Amino acid sequence: MSEIMAIEFEEEIMLLLVQAGAARSAAISALRLAREGRFSEAQQQLAAAGESISAAHQQQTALIGLDEGSGKLPVTLILVHAQDHLMNAMLIQDLAGEIIELYRRTAAGGTDA
């Protein structure tokens, strides 16, 4: 891998990591807001998490494109770490949506409202 390509690779990984971290933070924030009954703000944070996950997925797609499915790129610890963060952010976003709905139902008196 050339030095320029290595730098691009590292930048893509860092962007993936940053976006995944932002998604995780927004999803956790959404949960905290919902626990306080601030459902509109919680929904905004959940939407922000979704936007960050979408951006992270674009970074992931760019990395896959650089590799071209042929093992051109090294599997580094930071790449594995970034992928792990993305997977966790996606899981947290999904669970946050479900937990927020439970908070909403509890606040509404246990109905399916």
Neighbours of 74 (CB within 10 A): 10
- Residue 53 is encoded by which pair of tokens? 């996950």
Catalytic residues: 81
Determine the Cα–Cα distance for residues 84 and 104; give it in Å rounded to an integer.
Answer: 30
Residue carrying the six token digits 């669970």: 95
The SS3 assignment for 70 reads coil
